[in-house]
Amino acid sequence: MNPAAQTELRFEFGENWARYLAHLNQHRICHAEHALQNLVGDLRGRSFLDAGSGSGIHSLAAVRLGATRVHSFDLDAQSVSCTAELKRRYYPAADYWTVETGSVLNADYIRRLGRFDVVYSWGVLHHTGHLWKALEIAAEAVATGGLLVVAIYNDQGAWSRYWRRVKLVCNRTPAALRPLYAALVMAPVELRELAKAVLRLRFRQYFDRWTDHYSPRGMNRWHDIIDWVGGYPFEVAKPEEVFDFYRQRGLTLEKLTTSGGSKACNEFVFRRITLS
């Protein structure tokens, strides 16, 4: 068992999401929308389950892309508040968009929600403390012919063990000191990126990472760093392990974007061919 599951030590993602919302703008929302559309195609008239909705930006993107039932849930109360805040800001009257507290590890809860055309659980299941159980339960919510989107941290062996330790220490550090801790831990990574940019005469490319130009999936660099250094429990998987796991459960792989061997997430889109 993952040691985090024993200690119940858990990063409070919602605090970071609440700060991120102050930086949310149309530009980031459009990025999130394009990223989602690239993954799942046309969402018009489809149902969408956002399992571990975090800030809620991807639920918002699903609504904007025409999903006719959106259900967002998260374990963390502040993440739920962030998602609810986005609903209040942009679609207060959307009775087809539900936001609530829930856990992807609660099989009864997920079963009660029914099946969805798209189940989206990006960067969530590896933070539950029970990765394989979470992968199993999330897949059960996918309707026949529907899509499952998951992003799971890449298994880098010894490096992954190093990062788990870094995250554990972060979560044992007083909250006020965590930004400093994150900055120190990430300094070598950032300096390496800066050195690469200098050698390639691409300063602009490096500094753009700290502005609105950097917006993969609508995210923001500093909040990504806090999320990465703090994100605990932390589990990892090799792409082929996730592929095999779902193949045995009647899901076929439609798209895979690997992390290129880095510490980032491998992103999968599976289609459910048969009901389990």
Residue 250, number of CB atoms within 10 A of its CB: 16
On whether the CB atoms of residues 106 and 140 are closer than 8 A, the answer is no
244 phi/psi in degrees, rounded to 5: -65, -40
Q: How many residues bind ligand SAM, per CB under 6 A?
A: 20
Under the binding rule (CB under 6 A), the answer on residue 123 touching ligand SAM is: yes
Under the binding rule (CB under 6 A), the answer on residue 33 touching ligand SAM is: no
Contact code string over 186-225 relative to ligand SAM, x by CB under 6 A = ----------------------------------------
Name residues contacting ligand SAM, limited to 135-154 (CB under 6 A).
Answer: none
The DSSP line for 130-192 is: -HHHHHHHHHHTEEEEEEEEEEEEB--THHHHHHHHHHHHHHHS-GGGHHHHHHHHHHHHHHH
Q: CB-wise, 98 or 205, nearer to ligand SAM?
A: 98
Under the binding rule (CB under 6 A), the answer on residue 267 touching ligand SAM is: no
- Preceding peptide of 174 cis, ω within 30°: no
Among 104, 147, 149, 225, binds ligand SAM (CB under 6 A): 104
- How far apart CA 186 and CA 220 sit, in angstroms, is 15
Strand, coil or helix: what is 12?
Answer: coil
Residue 94 CB, nearest distance to ligand SAM (Å)? 19
Closest CA to 102 of 72, 126, 75: 75
Residue 104 CB, nearest distance to ligand SAM (Å)? 4
Residue 93 CB, nearest distance to ligand SAM (Å)? 24
Under the binding rule (CB under 6 A), the answer on residue 52 touching ligand SAM is: yes
Under the binding rule (CB under 6 A), the answer on residue 117 touching ligand SAM is: no
Q: Tokens representing 88?
A: 């209040």
The rounded radius of gyration (Å) of the Cα atoms in the chain is 18
Under the binding rule (CB under 6 A), the answer on residue 39 touching ligand SAM is: no
Q: CB-wise, 105 or 185, nearer to ligand SAM?
A: 105
Under the binding rule (CB under 6 A), the answer on residue 127 touching ligand SAM is: yes
Choose the stretch contacting ligand SAM; rule: CB under 6 A; options: 19-27, 59-67, 72-80, 245-253. 72-80
270 phi/psi in degrees, rounded to 5: -110, 155
Name residues contacting ligand SAM, limited to 78-97 (CB under 6 A).
Answer: 79
On whether the CB atoms of residues 175 and 182 are closer than 8 A, the answer is no
Q: CB-wise, 136 or 206, nearer to ligand SAM?
A: 136
Q: CB-wise, 47 or 220, nearer to ligand SAM?
A: 220
Residue 276, number of CB atoms within 10 A of its CB: 11
The footprint of ligand SAM (CB under 6 A) covers 13, 52-55, 58, 74-76, 79, 103-105, 122-124, 127-128, 227, 231
